[in-house]
Chains A and B, each alone.
Chain A
Amino acid sequence: MPVTREGFEPLIVAFCCNWCSYAGADLAGTSRQTYPSNVRVIRVPCSGRVNPGFIIRAFQRGADGVLVAGCHPGDCHYHSGNYHARRRFTILKQMLDYLGIEPERFQVRWISGSEGAKFSAVMNELTENVRKLGPNRKLRDAR
């Protein structure tokens, strides 16, 4: 990834739960709701499956922004996965902020299977915000 502010193209890794957000991403596709190709999705069964370790590793390997997307509270296909995710990532996000790592780089959103438009909107917004922040140098590893 180029690192000059001008030519800078951020890499966004999005962990999407299979039942809502991944379906939302597919719907964005079927309804041609475009968003930047900077966004790359990893499919997980549930936002509750996303280990903070995955997120940190993504940042280490050069992700400039990471999104975890799951079903809206109350809609989790597994009853409570997103509730646990909400607690875990509330803590993680505050911690990153506290350690001086721009919290905007890490987002958690609830996107349902019927919110294709929202999916692309969120992706556009996230990409733009991260583009403004510039490349993630703080967590990125040496390689």
Chain B
Amino acid sequence: MSTANGKIRSSAAEALAEGRVTLVLGWRKKDFWWQSPVAFVESAAEAEQLTFDPFSVYNPVKYLLEAAGCHEKVGVFVKGCDSRGINRLLQDKRLEREQVLIFGLPCSGMVDPVKIRAAFPAPKICEVARDGEELLVRLSDGQERVQTADFLLEKCLTCRHPNPVVYDRLLWERVPVRSGVDALRFARVSSVAQQQIQERYAYWTRQFSRCIRCFACRNTCPACNCRSCIFDQAEPRWLGKASDMSDTLNYQITRAFHVAGRCFECGECERICPAGIPLQELNRRLIMDIDKYFGPYEAGLAPGDLPPLGTYRGEDPAGFDES
């Protein structure tokens, strides 16, 4: 762990010192044990605050949209999921590869504070640190060890690319892909899909009824990188202002459609959603259909290729009655 931080800080400092980059995006510790938000480091000195701990879950990539504009070259630390975000931006021509210096961080999963709190309700938690396969939980009254696996974030349990898929330097050894990931990946989608249509409608409207249209899902999503989002446009007004189910469905359908074939499953939309709407279940449903109809495709792996909805094959099957 500390070695990890060491490596991060030194490589960031080095890159800044040598002037190879003028800004580095990583994570730093904030007020609480469960917070490791994105850090913007512009000098070797500041690099000391960088940290990579079980809560460095935020995807720093989206900040590149702004950063790359005002910096010649930006350094960025990426986990496997984050790195696919880089490819997302490259594929969307929102970023040039040479604009970024990428430090790859193989990642065996981020920890879910909720699960930790559930396990340690009473005593005050001071710090949660990784120690090999285990987590070291420092409590106000002593410390405990637990198996990391039991406390991972939902989204990390289904991660098929824990190792960065694009980078200039890999800071440490690759980690293995979790076993049984593929089985889990579409499990939730399937269980919903198996319900009767009325049940599905009830299920989704129940979920969406909590949506307050705060747009957090859109704002955190590296695939939602338009300069100006249609949801913010007045003429034509694609999305009504009324907060009724009709417009919520309109919003959710459109959002999902816009990331169809582009979503690389970082799961931030769902994690960040204040209403706890299972957005991954919708995104992944679209991934399933794309695999089924247009052939298996994983976004964020090859920035060169065209996304499934940007191309076609004459012999494509149709998901509707073509008669």
Contact = CB atoms under 8 A, between A and B. Distances in A.
A–B direct touch in complex (beta carbons closer than 8 A): yes
Contacts of B321: 107-109
A139 to B, nearest CB: 6
B68 to A, nearest CB: 30
B312 A83 contact: yes
* Residue with the highest number of chain B CB atoms closer than 10 Å, among A60, A84, A94, A96: A94
Contacts of B203: 100
Interface string B198-215: 111111110000000000
Given A52-B254, A92-B257, A87 B294 contact: yes
A56 B254 contact: yes
Given A87-B309, A91-B290, A99 B250 contact: no
Which bracket fits the contact residues of B?
Answer: 35 or more
The SS class assigned to the B binding surface is helix
A60 B250 CA distance: 8
B322 A110 contact: yes
Contacts of A95: 253, 256-257, 282, 285-286, 289
Contacts of B252: 99
B168 interface: no
Contact of B289 (A83, A90, A102, A142): A90
Interface stretch (B52-60, B101-109, B124-132, B238-246): B238-246
Given A60-B246, A89-B319, A90-B293, 8 more contacts: A87-B293, A90-B317, A95-B286, A98-B200, A101-B201, A107-B321, A108-B320, A141-B240
Interface of B: 192-193, 197-205, 230, 238, 240, 242, 244, 246-247, 249-250, 252-254, 256-257, 260, 282, 285-286, 289-290, 293-294, 308-309, 312-314, 316-323
Interface of A: 52-53, 56-57, 60, 73-74, 80, 83-84, 86-102, 107-110, 138-142
The 10 closest A-B pairs by CB, nearest first: A100-B201, A90-B319, A100-B200, A141-B246, A83-B312, A94-B289, A108-B320, A99-B204, A142-B244, A98-B285
